[in-house]
Amino acid sequence: MSDAAPVVALVGNPNCGKTALFNALTGSRQKVANYPGVTVEKKVGPLTTPGGRTVRVVDLPGTYSLRARSPDEEITRDVVLGRTQNDVIPDLIVCVADASNLRLALRLALELKQVGRPVMLSLNMMDIARRRGIEIDADKLSREIGLPVVSSVAVRRGGTNALLAEIDRKLAERQGSTAVQWRAPDASGLRSAQKEADRILAAVVQGQGRPDSLTARADAILLHPVAGLVVLLAILFVMFQAVFAWAEPGMDAIEAAFHWLGGLVEAAPLPDLLKSFLKDGLIGGVGSVIVFLPQIVILFFFILVLEDLGYMARAAFLMDRIMGGAGLHGRAFIPLLSSFACAIPGIMSTRVIDDRRDRLTTILVAPLMTCSARIPVYTLIIGAFIPERDVWGFIGLQGLVMFGLYTVGIVGALAVSFVVKRLIWRGKPGEPFMLELPDYKLPRPRSLAIGLWTRATIFLKRAGTIILSMMVLIWVLASFPQPPEGATEPAINYSLAAKIGSAIQPITAPLGFNWQINVALIPGMAAREVAVGSLGTIYAISGGEEAADKIGQALSSQWTLATALAFLAWYVFAPQCASTLAVIRRETGGWRWLWVTFFYMLALAYVAAFITYRVALALGGG
């Protein structure tokens, strides 16, 4: 794909089927990257037109107007106006409209027309419009609006032929670059544009069209004040079950594969230091993160299905008031939900929140949601210290403690956002909640597959770059300097990590932490669950994570119950994840919010662990 190939940009309202059209045009050859300096996804794919022309197609974030309100929409504006610092300056803009929901799209088309670049209008989902009794006179629409108009059915073979032919024709008549002019319209400009759009709509559409009866019937339940919330909770419950239960075979397989790789290295005739680097640093480190791939894929499967269905907007609608009580925006619901799997995709999905303050609050509290990396640590400590018995005859005490840790995380997140709203951004009324609730549509397997594939590759790339380099750094800390000749203690005890552990001993002593815990916390910065393996190393237990039972036995003989509980409280709040912090820095465009997050979480963790330790001691847990 040559960089000189002409660029065709797809612009349209949210939910207009733009991404389905993009997938139909470019298939799986699309590339997802970030625009320089910002984190909005840049989706580009090659296309060869029937005329033999090679074209680069760009899918831009959905918007109602070029007056951008969120980082996503700013990208759409900047690409359309050619303001970006890169090569994607569109030679042709395809305004994609949902044929069954034309009203707002026509106003956007009128705005795009004013920019001065070549524009055409593609009426997408014509099949659905016809079924709903909407007949559009495309020729008349073209005359009235003054733009070429084609119809398309993205999901059907051959459904994009007319669009492709028109792209060919428009590109053939293209001449040099055009001067671009655009000024943010004022209210009266928007008003008259919408009235013009309404006039055109009345002139070209035959039949009023019935409102989608299936959507109306579904919403009678799904948006019901009580039933809607019950259904939402049920969906969440199934989702969590799936993330934890369905992912298990996949995670076991990945773990086994990395274990096997480690075994290969162990058996190879290599110097010990190189072996340790390959096995503990590379394979163990990266493996401990990649093991979450099945959970992330399953979580995103649910999120993509619910999004394609049109349900996500409803979830935000249902949760807006409830979350608003804690100072969060309704749209924060999805990012926080994703954070239960991993805060990284959660923080990345805060881009849908328009307002910067609302977005920052969500980013700040997302790491408090109990991510799946905490589970191995919780399981280890609970298994070792909490007796396996029932309370009130039917609830397992261990499960209850686990549930309690989740609850503490959620309550902590709500409390922090409440405080942030009241103390830091006090007096400023919240950003309005305004969201289109699109008609329900069945998700397309092909679009789902492409979406999942994209998510998985992004995650794997990150594991191969940022996380890999963190792991190497931590391996170095835990391995150097090397133990002296004839050393009796585990190698890590002589390392830099151990020195750091001892150095911070006075600080963590009030929490009941010994220096071994301090040392385990350092590799735990790469990924929380690494602390399990590190505790194993420090207490000189071979076998790594699968020897969790043995580690548990060692811990229960060496730690008091108070220390164990304080350690759990610490893990609920502590900023024990370098990759999350790195994502926060990237998403907020600076170091400031990274440090804010780091220190507030550290402070919470310290206070929580301190109180837990003291209370447990007082109750005889020493």
The residues of the shown chain that bind other proteins, judged by CB under 8 A, are: 64-65, 67, 69, 100-104, 107, 185-187, 190-191, 194-195, 198, 209, 211, 219, 223-226, 229, 313, 316-318, 320-322, 325, 330, 355, 428-439
- In the complex, least distance from residue 359 CB atom to other proteins, rounded to whole angstroms: 14
What is d(CA 527, CA 540) in angstroms, rounded to the nearest whole number? 21
What is d(CA 497, CA 548) in angstroms, rounded to the nearest whole number? 22
- In the complex, least distance from residue 407 CB atom to other proteins, rounded to whole angstroms: 21
- In the complex, least distance from residue 101 CB atom to other proteins, rounded to whole angstroms: 6
- In the complex, least distance from residue 123 CB atom to other proteins, rounded to whole angstroms: 14
- In the complex, least distance from residue 354 CB atom to other proteins, rounded to whole angstroms: 9
Question: Which lies closer to other proteins via its Cβ, residue 100 or residue 576?
Answer: 100
What is d(CA 381, CA 522) in angstroms, rounded to the nearest whole number? 18
Question: Which lies closer to other proteins via its Cβ, residue 352 or residue 574?
Answer: 352
What is d(CA 24, CA 18) in angstroms, rounded to the nearest whole number? 10
Question: Which lies closer to other proteins via its Cβ, residue 80 or residue 511?
Answer: 80
Q: How many CA atoms lie within 13 A of 483 on its CB side?
A: 13
Interior angle at CA 553, CA 548 and CA 554, nearest 5? 95
Locate 159 and state its tokens.
């459904």
Per-position DSSP letters for 316-340, written without gaps between them: HHHHHHHHHTTT--GGGHHHHHHTT
Question: Which lies closer to other proteins via its Cβ, residue 69 or residue 499?
Answer: 69
Question: Which lies closer to other proteins via its Cβ, residue 410 or residue 437?
Answer: 437
Helix (H) or strand (E) holding 573: helix 561-573
Q: Which of 211, 92, 213 minimizes the C-alpha distance to 147?
A: 92
Q: Which of 307, 284, 53 minimizes the C-alpha distance to 171?
A: 53
Question: Which lies closer to other proteins via its Cβ, residue 91 or residue 308?
Answer: 308
Question: Which lies closer to other proteins via its Cβ, residue 197 or residue 564?
Answer: 197
- In the complex, least distance from residue 436 CB atom to other proteins, rounded to whole angstroms: 6
Q: What is the DSSP code (8-state) at residue 487?
A: -
What is d(CA 415, CA 365) in angstroms, rounded to the nearest whole number? 9
- In the complex, least distance from residue 456 CB atom to other proteins, rounded to whole angstroms: 32
Work out the number of other CB atoms within 10 angstroms of the CB of residue 215.
16
Question: Which lies closer to other proteins via its Cβ, residue 29 or residue 191?
Answer: 191
- As to burial, measured by CB atoms within 10 angstroms (0-12 exposed, 13-18 middle, 19+ buried), residue 273 is exposed
What is d(CA 149, CA 610) in angstroms, rounded to the nearest whole number? 67
Phi-psi region of 46 (alpha: psi -120 to 50; beta: other; left: phi over 0): beta
Question: Which lies closer to other proteins via its Cβ, residue 67 or residue 499?
Answer: 67
- In the complex, least distance from residue 40 CB atom to other proteins, rounded to whole angstroms: 20
Give the number of residues written for the chain: 622
Question: Which lies closer to other proteins via its Cβ, residue 429 or residue 506?
Answer: 429
CA dihedral 95, 96, 97, 99 (to 10 degrees): 130
- In the complex, least distance from residue 180 CB atom to other proteins, rounded to whole angstroms: 21
What is d(CA 598, CA 547) in angstroms, rounded to the nearest whole number? 32
- In the complex, least distance from residue 437 CB atom to other proteins, rounded to whole angstroms: 4
